[in-house]
Amino acid sequence: MTADIITTGVDPRFSGLPGRPGKIVAVHLSYASRADQRGRRPAAPSYFFKPSSSVAASGGTIERPGGTELLAFEGEIALVIGTAARRVPLADAWDHVAWVTAANDFGLYDLRANDKGSNVRSKGGDGFTPVGPELVDARTVDPAALRLRTWVNGELRQDDTSAGLIFPLAQFVADLSQHFTLEPGDVILTGTPAGSSVVVPGDVVEVEVDAPDAPGAPTSGRLLTTVTQGEHGFDDAVGSLPAVDDHQRAEAWGSRAAAGLEPEPEPFRLSAELREKLGRAPVAGLSAQLRKRGLDNVSIDGVRPMHPGAKVVGTARTLRFVPNREDLFKSHGGGYNAQKRAFDAVGEGEVIVIEARGETGSGTLGDILALRAHARGAAGIVTDGGVRDHDAVAAVGIPVYSNGAHPAVLGRRHVPWDTDVAVACGGATVQPGDVLVGDRDGVVVIPPALVEEVVDATLAQEDEDAWIAEQVTAGHPVDGLFPMNAEWRARYEAWRASR
């Protein structure tokens, strides 16, 4: 491998690199430990750019801007490209890496929500990408045996290796080279493991990348950055202001507990026994019992089963579409949108419930998303909109309730907007975690607190109705029997006692 980088040797910010990088490409989520912490694991790498003006040398400082609270460190392995890479195969990709070193991908979570994944402002500030201090020759190390450690005020906070990556380091080079030329001096920040958290003014952060099993145990040395308090905030006349909520606090600190927040309540989960009972209980019977308890608006109207013989039992995972508006579809319809996130996140035994406002003039899912839900172990899909690729979706086998088939794509009528919120589906309100049961009669929504009471009452009523049916079949008139008067009630109780 020949590195054809021309070094500038002028600006001290780039002293940990061969020169000023033309591109800095960072990976969103790459370590299994971090993915497990976040509760989501990507199927393929995704990326964002950082400006070269964000690079800083070891021993420097980073300012936490005025009016902000959530500046977080992320120790990372940085790859420095040595020779141009364009459409290189995975087997040859590592040959285009000249050096590895340490990096710290600082992020300001106060600005994260408004950046919507681009991270332009939340991670692009001056000094937000310390790199160095020393370069390790990539030819002397095994890319699967690099160690990454981060300390805050001398306390070890991150300790992982490249073996813990979901994707091998060379894959980032091969993947990115499919889309554009990686040029000599470009830097790839390869993601951070679990342990990233918030730092405050006065904290000292150190990151080191080494290869302890390689000859000579080469190391980047410790990349040192001190956090300071900035005097300047942000002007709302030219852009959005920092904003934080408990979700961002938990993400920045690494957990709700680390952020000093109360733990979220445990989501309701159906036990195997309850799931089995609900599988035996007819929707009509469940609906009747809910009505006795004052709940009349719990039926998802207008939806029909794609597989009439299949029963649906599960807890709700929700997805909401809003009416199509061209500018909103442009900002929310592409990329890793809410629809894709919902189908990637659905868990085993959950039912994806889609609010489509009863709009039948467009599909709300197709065969690929049905396959994804099926692979994730979802119990079913309920949408008050249409289904594309109807026959292909039916062939997947996952139970689907919908308003019928329609060939149009999502953008004709809908914008995928958000997930895991209360939705209106078929005239019924469905909250995440509500219990859904569907059969040929339709779909009913059961509040979790009532599930056990309602299903037991339904099954008891089913036994009673079956006994009444036997009496009618034997020739008894329904008067006094359905509903039962005192005499017939006594006979029924005696029958039950004898069983």
CA separation for the pair 345, 420 (Å, rounded) = 10
Does residue 11 have a known ligand-binding role? Answer: no
Does residue 388 have a known ligand-binding role? Answer: yes
The Cβ of residue 382 has, within 10 Å, a number of other Cβ atoms equal to 28
Does residue 367 have a known ligand-binding role? Answer: yes
260 φ/ψ angles, rounded to the nearest 5 degrees: 75, 25
CA–chain centroid gap for 455, Å, is 32
Does residue 156 have a known ligand-binding role? Answer: no
Does residue 369 have a known ligand-binding role? Answer: yes
What is the largest distance, in Å, between two alpha-carbon atoms of the chain?
102
353 neighbors 316 (Cβ within 8 angstroms)? yes
Among 443, 420, 417, smallest CA distance to 431 is for 420
DSSP one-letter string for 374-403: HHTT--EEEESSBBSSHHHHHHH---EEES
Q: Pairing mode, if any, of strands 147-152 and 204-210?
A: antiparallel
Among 180, 197, 198, 218, smallest CA distance to 102 is for 218
CA separation for the pair 270, 384 (Å, rounded) = 24
Helix (H, G, I), strand (E, B) or coil at 451: helix
249 sits in which H/E element = helix 246-253
**Quick one: tokens of 351?**
């039912």
List the Cα angle 403/345/278 in 5-degree steps: 60
Does residue 349 have a known ligand-binding role? Answer: no
Which residue(s) pair with 129 in the sheet?
55
Q: Which residues are annotated as a binding site for Mg(2+)?
A: 389
Q: Which residues are annotated as a binding site for substrate?
A: 366-369, 388
Q: Which residues are annotated as a binding site?
A: 366-369, 388-389
